[in-house]
Amino acid sequence: MTISVVTGANSGIGRATAIHLAQQGHSVYGTVRSVDKAAKLQSMSADAGVEVQLVELDVADDESVRAGFTRILEATDGVVDVLVNNAGVGGNAVAEECDTSTYLEVMNVNLCGAVRCLQQVLPGMRARHSGTVVNITSIAGRIAAIAQSPYVTSKWAFEGLSEGLAQELAPFGIRVAIIEPGVTKSAIFAKNVEAPNHTGAYDAHYRRLFQFYATGYGQATDPFEVARLIDHAITTDSPRLRYAVSWGGPELIAGRQSMSDEDWISLGAHDDDADYYAAFQSAFGLDISNP
């Protein structure tokens, strides 16, 4: 039986992935910051006829990660076959208005949290010469989404770590897959509605940020679709490093790849919202003018 750990299993992509992998016969350990707040995960698991074994763990804390993985490894005789690094937080701000402490907080969860978990399972994977690491980054790890500087920075860093990790682990038979979701139905959006806007100079940036998500959320992809892609990335005989998924994901990545840097900068230079939305649609094929 495949033993899988999914971090941030209490909502969204993490919850869907934990349940879906359990339905495929995996023995799944889902990490949550509080078991007491995992009632919906437990209810959905029961409705699906599967069990997700809950482990209290905060990826932002060294000792919490060590303690949580000690419990997992004791229960599995030291074996973890699949690690899905999903736990993450958002972060809205332009660089001028973002405290460095916010960058550090977001980076501590989105990047360092994954590293903490990796370091717990890689020694065993190396010894067995097998295993899969799935890192959930974001389209914001491939395109610098407007007015989300701390989030974008953390996800670009996570992409870089993941690309390097794939080479580092290749000699040991360990697969690395990067999942890059666009807009997916998740509780993260309800928690990610604030923006500092201290100066008032960046009104348009924040307005366009929230317009994009308002449009995307109305068409957001079911997280179980992402879970199925994660399952494919784990099991396919023709693995790839990167998988774009969810509303806006493939379009934004492809559009940015086809743009020059000069065109990218000129997109941000539009003063008028209508002109910006028209240029955005021309570049990415996504109409965000009306949520």
Annotated catalytic residues are: 151
For helices 113-128 and 62-75, the axis angle rounded to 10 degrees is: 30
Q: How far is CA 125 from CA 5, 111, 140, 174, 187, in A?
A: 13, 20, 29, 7, 32
